[in-house]
Structure 1
Amino acid sequence: MTIFVLSGVAMHHLRLLFPYLHRYRRRLLLGLLAAALGASVSALAPLVLRLAVDRVANGTIVPLELIWFGGALIGLAIIDGGLKFAQRMLIAVTSYRIENDLRADLFDRLLSFEQMFYQQHYTGDLMARLTNDLSAVRQFLGPGLNGAATAILTFLAAAVLMFLVQPVLALIVVLLLPLATIVFVAIGGRMRQIFHRVQDQFGVLSTRAQENFAGIRTVKAFAQEEAEIAVFTADNERYRDLNLRYVLLSGALWPAMTLCLGLISALILLVGGQMVAAGTLTIGELVQFNAYLALLAFPMIILGWMVNLFQQATASLERLSDILRRQPLITSPATPRLPAGEGEIEFRGVGVRAGHSDQQWLLRDLSFRVPAGTVLAIVGATGAGKTTLINLLGRVRDPDVMSGQVLVDGIDIRDLDLAALRRMIGYVPQESFLFSIPLRENIGFGVETVDPDRLNYVVEVSRLVNDLDQLPGGMETMVGERGVTLSGGQKQRVAIARALMRDPRILVLDDALSSVDTHTAAQILAGLRTEMTGRTTIIIAQRIATVRDADQIIVLDEGQIVERGSHQELLARNGRYAAMYRRELIAAELERDD
């Protein structure tokens, strides 16, 4: 049968399920046992029917025997129904458990990947894999496996008994069945290819919808509703066309099965009728044989459905295996070390390329040291490599091979426990991401127990306290998706409060005040100075006023340090930093005049 004529590619992806099938092997074996018993009971009904027909044909049957034969058929049907119910419950429940385990493993694996993975994959496509593709696999493991077990065992039982009844007729049936298999192989391979494209297009469609919903402010601000609807409509029509092509192929299986069964039945009637006329076969045996042929009809019918589910599952498993077989590039070492907790940072000859084979350097030969408890400021033009530098500290990415080291407390961070390293860093990114949970939970994100006094303190330091009266629920206000209900400045202040809530040993502020007005920024900086005391701090900023009190300032240009020193030292050098400072003073003067 087609379901067992597996290509090497399909088998490769099906191996992904073996650990999960092994985990629930007992339930599956019990389900298969129930299927075997059910197939055996189903095969007894034609035998009872043959005995009854032969007795009727001989004219020797009595009414009581008819009742007995009828009761036997009813009893067999009840037993068969009970066994099939047990079989379906065992296998169906197992399929849902495997789906649950697969979804959990996929989610765990996705959270372990580095940021580069998410730059190469669309969110909507990943969501499609966690929903549609998983559903296709469950359908194959549940209804598909259940139907396969019933069909195979019923086919074997019926085929064996057909040979016992009349070998010639059975041989005719066995010789004709491969014709159906050839048709299914031809159609099934094409179905798998198209279903893979259907799932890919569904990912495109999901991504399009997700991006429009998340960026609804931008869409409306640029009056792009009609344009986005047009693009979505085109993607949607493409999805529809691919589905129609898949349905067309899927629908071709059923007429093929009907034709095969019709040809076999006609031939059996012709040859079997001649045998009855010649006296080599009784009417009861012909009825019994046709009953077995009818039993074979179910495996033939279920075959098309199984091919359908199989092709969907293998296409989906191919997409899921891309995630489950991919290894994260950034992990904790086999024998991790823990940082001392002092917070000293050192970069030694660090280099980062734009890509693995790219010769363009984002950072090149970068070396500096930040003593524990001091403040380092990093300034430079957009694209100078400031954020890339910070990403190295938290191992969002690693330096290129043989391109330097990043050390914390004198230990290469690639030798440190990854979770412990990130727990000691409080990071405020350029773009603050907030979850669709209450404001209090957003601030306490990553903290096991939220201390009310600490919470009030960080809200005060971040000056978020100024806006609590404007929020409908205060600290319990539900924040919309990605913080859509808050302004840019409010989101940045929530991010600052969240970072301070962890009481980190290392504090990183990546242009954390860019969306905050000058007056509020000055208030936040005043509060942060207390937090920076004794805490290693790295500040990335566009405003010189934000970094002038830092212990050390470095100026980046095209991924290299071009100036280094304190605020006064850099002004005295009259270089890039001094030019930036003069431009800022002129801009401030013009703003005051206005």
Structure 2
Amino acid sequence: MDQFHRLWPFVRRYRRRLLIGALCAMAATAVAAMIPQIVRFAVDDLNTRGVVIERLLQYGGLLLLAALVEGLLRYGQRTQIIGTSHLIDFDMREALFARLLTLDQGFFTTMHTGDLMTRVTNDLSAVRMFLGPGISNLLGSTLLLLTAATLMFLTNPALAAIVVLLLPMAAVLFVVIGGRMRAIFRKVQDQFGEISTRAQENFSGIRTIKAYAQEDAEIRVFRQANERYRALNLRYVLLSGMLWPIIGLMLGTIGAFVLLIGGRMVAAGEMTVGELVLFNAYLAQLAWPVIALGWTVDLYQQGAASLVRIGEVLQRRSAIASPPDAPRDFVVRGEVEFRNVGLRFAHSQHTNGNASGHHANAPSTSGKPAASGAPEWVLRHISFRIPQGGSLGIVGATGAGKTTLVNLLARVRDPDEGQVLVDGYDVRTLPLDALRRGIGYVPQDTFLFSVPIRENVTFGRPDATEDQIIHALAVSRLINDVEQFPDGIDTLIGERGVTLSGGQKQRTAIARAILRDPAILILDDALSSVDTHTAAEILASLRAMMKGRTSMIIAQRIATVKDADQIIVLHNGEIIERGTHRELVERGGRYADMYRRELLRAELEEE
């Protein structure tokens, strides 16, 4: 039960509803315990006085009234307890979704989307089933068991002792089989998450699968994963199915003993027929609670396994968060500086409290020297400064660390050594929301939502006016393409923008970033899918719009960055060249080689 302490924050706000449900359960149990007593008096009365119609009608009326009152009370019990389970399910799903959105990106690199979806759906459903029907049955069954057992002892201690001695066997069975069921159910849920991930990746990458004619291969892989899921489910069902036959056997055995011993007592005059009927009625009432307890144990095992998986997310704390003493009124102006920044592959994130001070004069968080066997450096000794309104071009081979470098600015990750500063403040001391609001980021791998183009462009600026939207589309050169779509800007695009070309998706992302009116604009190879002529037009429009704003442009094409105020060349995670386009070309280094190859390629394409 240790894992269920995580539920208390969600349960306590509904204490009153649960208390009302418990009171209804207690009252319903008391009424249910009266029904066998009415039957007992009726049988003894008929046995002594004979059949009297008036008396039969009276007893029948009492039984109907008791059944009606019990039904109403059970209705109150279920609506309060099961209804509360749905409210808790709603709160937990909202909390789980909110926590997932606030976790750092490092968490998502270690988790599969399908597995996370399983935790938000199947695992929450398993917890809700235990909190609702499970708790309702547990409460009602336990109360009825205690009440019926007490009244059975008062009626005939000898027969009651037989029942009480045999029932603990069921409890032992629940403990032995229940622990095994929980372990297997955890594996079932993990495997279901793997299947969900496989399906989600296949649906998202359907173009690639069809392009490489891998439909049959993917079906075989999915079949193998599905077979493992089936086998685990079968093992779980076999264990779960063992409970019911054994419970039925136990109840049948107890009933046989009661009839054998009770019949002899009636024959010997030690017990009236009404008392034997009463005892059998209570025994019949115990049948459902015992079965319900078996089902509740089943629900508990599922809920406990699922709650562990949910708790792994709810208890996770983001490695990237706003410090508690961050300035509330901070607004990004645009000055950017990297001071001797270094980043390792498998680094351990610094907590926010480790970033001391608010200003540039604060001491930096220095990383330890790389020891033997320590993770390699992705970036090392990175230092540069971009004044407010300046521009920086970043070039380098694939894998040189360009994207990783700009990710440090918005605190996607924190450096292992050195400082990243915005307007003279270490970014680790700034409020995350204010920092990221001041940055417009256009990645090479553009993500679009399955909504109309308008909603994709206005993502982050839902209050944008029509003129502002049109301006953003014009700057990104998407406006001509939009006019050709069936519903214009309100055309619905497929998942991840599957109905758009690569260039159209990148231009949509550029329009989205422009509409945010950021103080810092980052283009991470964002024109790679756009033709050279359109890219030149977009850059010309951006230069006019970004006057007085800071820009960082990552590109494979020199033509994209040659007009930047300064350019750095990354190689193996370090800056090996820096300067203006003219200076770097005259220097005759790696940048000049890249530029000559680009000019040669352009000449060959023209020929």
TM class by smaller structure: over 0.9
Name the residue aligned to 2:175: 185
Name the residue aligned to 2:261: 271
Structure 1 residue 354 corresponds to structure 2 residue 345: yes
Distance in 2 of aligned mates of 1:158 and 1:573: 95
TM-score, length basis structure 2 = 0.94
Name the residue aligned to 1:378: 394
Please, which moves more after superposition, 504-513 or 355-364? 355-364
**SS of residue in 2 equivalent to 1:404:** strand
Structure 1 residue 259 corresponds to structure 2 residue 249: yes
Q: Which amino acid aligns with 2:167?
A: L
Q: Which runs of 4+ in 1 moved over 4 A?
A: none
**SS of residue in 2 equivalent to 1:365:** strand
Name the residue aligned to 1:207: 197
Structure 1 residue 328 corresponds to structure 2 residue 318: yes
CA contact (8 A) 1:556 1:562 kept: yes
CA contact (8 A) 2:332 2:434 kept: no
Name the residue aligned to 1:369: 385
Deviation, structure 1 residue 62: 2.8
Name the residue aligned to 2:333: 342
Name the residue aligned to 2:475: 461
Name the residue aligned to 2:506: 492
| Structure 1, unaligned runs of 5 or more | 1-10
CA contact (8 A) 2:472 2:511 kept: yes
Cα deviation digits, residues 164-195 of structure 1 (max 9, x gap): 11122212211111111112211111111111
1:399-548 equivalence runs, <5 A:
399-400=415-416, 403-548=417-562
CA contact (8 A) 2:337 2:383 kept: yes
Distance in 1 of aligned mates of 2:500 and 2:3: 45
Structure 1 residue 109 corresponds to structure 2 residue 99: yes
CA contact (8 A) 2:393 2:561 kept: yes
**SS of residue in 1 equivalent to 2:483:** helix
Cα deviation digits, residues 43-101 of structure 1 (max 9, x gap): 00111111111112223563211111111111100000110011111112111111110
Please, which moves more after superposition, 73-82 or 229-238? 229-238
Structure 1 residue 222 corresponds to structure 2 residue 238: no
Please, which moves more after superposition, 36-45 or 471-480? 471-480
Deviation, structure 1 residue 450: 1.4
CA contact (8 A) 1:183 1:256 kept: no
CA contact (8 A) 1:375 1:532 kept: no
Q: Which amino acid aligns with 2:563?
A: D
Q: Which amino acid aligns with 1:367?
A: S
CA contact (8 A) 1:352 1:399 kept: yes
1:546-565 equivalence runs, <5 A:
546-565=560-579
Deviation, structure 1 residue 356: 2.6
Distance in 2 of aligned mates of 1:539 and 1:339: 25
Deviation, structure 1 residue 283: 1.3
**SS of residue in 2 equivalent to 1:399:** coil
Please, which moves more after superposition, 27-36 or 274-283? 274-283
CA contact (8 A) 1:340 1:409 kept: no
CA contact (8 A) 1:570 1:578 kept: yes
CA contact (8 A) 2:331 2:438 kept: no
Count of aligned pairs between the two proteins: 581
Distance in 2 of aligned mates of 1:547 and 1:299: 75
**SS of residue in 2 equivalent to 1:453:** helix
Q: Which amino acid aligns with 2:212?
A: F
**SS of residue in 1 equivalent to 2:440:** strand
Distance in 1 of aligned mates of 2:334 and 2:82: 53
Q: Which amino acid aligns with 1:373?
A: G
Q: 1:245 to 1:116 in 2, by over 3 A?
A: same
Distance in 2 of aligned mates of 1:445 and 1:354: 32
Name the residue aligned to 1:582: 596
CA contact (8 A) 1:555 1:561 kept: yes
CA contact (8 A) 1:94 1:142 kept: yes
CA contact (8 A) 2:410 2:436 kept: yes
Q: Which amino acid aligns with 1:317?
A: L
CA contact (8 A) 2:569 2:577 kept: yes
CA contact (8 A) 1:154 1:299 kept: yes
CA contact (8 A) 1:339 1:411 kept: no
Q: Which amino acid aligns with 1:457?
A: H
- How much identity, in percent, do the aligned residues show? 60
Deviation, structure 1 residue 118: 1.1
Q: Which amino acid aligns with 2:33?
A: A
Deviation, structure 1 residue 455: 1.0
Q: Which amino acid aligns with 1:227?
A: A
CA contact (8 A) 2:331 2:434 kept: no
CA contact (8 A) 1:427 1:507 kept: yes
1:141-220 equivalence runs, <5 A:
141-220=131-210
TM-score, length basis structure 1 = 0.96
Cα deviation digits, residues 95-114 of structure 1 (max 9, x gap): 11111101000000000111
- Across the aligned residues of Structure 1 and Structure 2, the Cα RMSD in angstroms comes to 1.2
Name the residue aligned to 1:232: 222
Cα deviation digits, residues 329-354 of structure 1 (max 9, x gap): 11111121243432101111211110
Cα deviation digits, residues 90-145 of structure 1 (max 9, x gap): 11211111111010000000001111111111111111111111111111111111
Name the residue aligned to 1:3: none
Deviation, structure 1 residue 386: 0.5
**SS of residue in 1 equivalent to 2:551:** strand
Q: Which amino acid aligns with 1:556?
A: L
Distance in 1 of aligned mates of 2:324 and 2:264: 76
**SS of residue in 2 equivalent to 1:587:** helix
**SS of residue in 2 equivalent to 1:328:** coil
Cα deviation digits, residues 309-343 of structure 1 (max 9, x gap): 11111111111111011111111111212434321
Structure 1 residue 62 corresponds to structure 2 residue 78: no
